[in-house]
Amino acid sequence: MLTKTETNVQPAKWDEMESASVSFFGMAWKKLRKNKGAMIGGSILLFFILTSVFAPVLTHYPVNEMRYDETLKPPSREHWLGTDEFGRDIYTRILYGGRVSLLMGLVAVSIAGSVGVFLGVIAGYYRRLDLYIMQLMDILLAFPSLLMAIAIVAVLGVGLTNAMIAVAISVIPSFVRVVRGSVLAVREKEYIESARALGVRDWKIIVRHILPNIASPIIVLATLQFGVSILSAAALSFLGLGAQPPNPEWGALVFVGKSFLSQAWWMTLYPGLAIMLVVLGFNLLGDGLRDALDPRIK
């Protein structure tokens, strides 16, 4: 009879935990929907993601087709955002450039997040390794992120892949510091101490108890760093260290357009606006997520 009672208690506990988790994220979603800034940011990002994905449907000019009889044409009905020095349609190149820029941000944040979360958890949970990991992060943080990315590209070589790796490395310290601080706060909780006393293995404690409880700051940081990564990748391309012609990356488009600023202002203005709007969208969404996922904010 006792065994039957025990077997009935455990599912009930899991049901309560799942219900609490659903309730928390449901409340967070309600708070996020009420945040006008977050909704505006999300709408901006959704717009750019959809236009980048469906670029072949939304444009009728080949992205790299050169038409020398239509060079430096201003915005018109035929070319909504004008043409460049080779007669290529700027509108088309911006849509396809969104694929490159958003991919660079996604890859950079994915690499930085994976490595940063791993190192942050190790540093926060195993205090004997904390000093060594954080000293390395302090060294990386001593350099401005863009300057460090430039140095890494100088070592690895110019190119799109190396630029993504460089941006990822420059972002890793931010993840490590945030994750470490969150782990330090959670590891002293009573349920963690109880799990240790029961002999639960460290990796199970980390996966089942620590990571779910520090997910909120990681999500917020990843959202904010997405915009930072896109901006850094665009800066590298602008300096000629990232995407190379004829890749229609936004930073590279701004770089090319600056040589024709007095003749064809549209070559610089519209790619620059695309970068600004996407970064703004991620910042607005990140701020909204921070407010929605923080239980202390009512």
Note the pLDDT of residue 188: 83
Specify if 186 maps to a domain.
yes
Residue pLDDT, tens place only, 129-162: 999 999 999 999 998 888 999 999 999 999 999 9
Residue 123 belongs to some domain of the structure: yes
Q: Which residue ranges in the chain fall short of pLDDT 50?
A: 1-18
pLDDT of residue 28: 77
Placement of tokens 């065994």 in the chain: 3
The token pair that represents 264 in the structure block = 């064809």
Q: What is the pLDDT of residue 296?
A: 56
Residue 38 inside a domain? The answer is yes
Is there a domain that residue 7 lies in? no
Q: How many domains does the chain have?
A: 1
Task: Give residue 163's domain range.
Answer: 31-52+90-293
**Distance in angstroms (rounded) separating the CA atoms of residues 159 and 151:** 13
Question: Tell me, what CATH number does 259's domain have?
Answer: 1.10.3720.10
* Closest to 59 (Cα-Cα) out of 83, 94, 102: 94
138 burial level (CB within 10 Å; 0-12, 13-18, 19+):
exposed
CA 83 remoteness from chain centre? 31
For residue 9, the model assigns a pLDDT of 38
Return d(Cα 106, Cα 273) in angstroms, integer: 20
**Residue 23 counted as domain residue:** no
Q: Is residue 140 part of a domain?
A: yes
